[in-house]
Amino acid sequence: MIEAKSWSNREKAIITGLFLSKFDKEGLLTLGFESFREAFNAISLVLKIKPMSIKNYRDEFDPSFINGRVGRKRPMRPNCKLIFDVFKDYEINSFSKYIYEVINIDDDLIDFGIKSFPETIENQTFAKRLITGESAEEYFRQKYQEIEIFEGFELIDTTKTGCGFDFKLKKNEVFWGVEVKGLLTKSGNILMTEKEFSIAQMLTERYCLFVVKNFQESPYHEYFIDPVNGNLNFVCTQKSIIQSSWNAQV
């Protein structure tokens, strides 16, 4: 099997289009998406391409499968044909696992102290983890310079440091901490970890909670400065987590 990281983003989009064409609604359900539009919006941000591009690649493969769509009425493009020949016989389980690798969610860094989710990590679908994590973060990377209060700031990615926010925005001696959250719909619940909440209390007006909404239709954002002391009503929820460890004398 070809290593997932070796593909270009364009090739990853073609692979994703093939998966969605071959397995159609079953493929969406396996990944945890409720609609194709939702999948196009979330995956395209991570791959840094337009949502329509993934749709076009899905349509490229439609004539080869029975899924109720007609697709492109012309010979398959050579670059798509190469990928088709590699993956055409994959079953849904093995192909979906490969999609996880292609989209490149880093499981080792998804921890209760670094990322926050409404249920346990094991219960998270690929789609929800993508939307609440990588897709929302990439949206911020692309949009933050359009926000007046962040104009001229340097962007420092801290998503993998567990420091209480995803991005550090710095200008001269001033810095902001920005925590990014993603929502499937236009409204919903967002969670802050104990670390994020504590840092927000410390930074006050230099902490921004940036929420990307409506992945199921067309993503847009809303942000909250000093969210802990603002108009948001946070309720503390505590859970006991049992962790196991194994020791051996050597």
From 56, 77, 104, give the residue that closes a domain.
104
Question: Over 80: is that where the pLDDT of 242 sits?
Answer: no
- Nearest to 27, CA basis, from 123, 107, 126, 131: 126
Same domain, 207 and 136: yes
Question: Over 90: is that where the pLDDT of 113 sits?
Answer: no
* Six token digits for residue 48: 């840094």
Q: Is residue 239 part of a domain?
A: no
DSSP-derived letter for residue 125 is -
Same domain, 98 and 117: no
Same domain, 171 and 222: yes
pLDDT digits (tens, 9 = 90+) for 116-144: 333 333 446 889 889 989 999 999 999 99
Same domain, 126 and 90: no
pLDDT score of 129: 87
Count of domains in the chain? Answer: 2
Answer whether 133's CB lies under 8 Å from 122's CB: no
For residue 184, the one-letter residue type is L
The CATH code of the domain that includes 144 is 3.40.1350.10
Q: Is residue 153 part of a domain?
A: yes
Same domain, 151 and 97: no
pLDDT digits (tens, 9 = 90+) for 196-214: 999 999 999 999 999 999 9
Q: Does the model's pTM come out above 0.95?
A: no
Confidence of residue 114 (pLDDT cuts 50, 70, 90): very low
Burial 140-160 (b: 16+ CB within 10 A, else e): bbeebeebeebeebeeeebbe
Same domain, 63 and 174: no
From 58, 74, 104, give the residue that closes a domain.
104
pLDDT score of 119: 38
From 70, 104, 138, give the residue that closes a domain.
104
pLDDT score of 78: 96
Question: Over 60: is that where the pLDDT of 112 sits?
Answer: no
Same domain, 14 and 76: yes
Question: Over 80: is that where the pLDDT of 247 sits?
Answer: no
Same domain, 222 and 155: yes
Residue 60, Cα to own-chain centre: how many angstroms? 24
pLDDT digits (tens, 9 = 90+) for 176-193: 999 999 999 999 999 999
Q: Is residue 75 part of a domain?
A: yes
Same domain, 122 and 206: yes
Mean pLDDT value across residues 64-69? 93
CA atoms of 56 and 68, how far apart (whole Å): 16
Domain that holds residue 50: 4-104
Phi, then psi, of 228 in degrees rounded to 5? -65, -35
Same domain, 54 and 146: no
Same domain, 68 and 127: no
Same domain, 100 and 70: yes
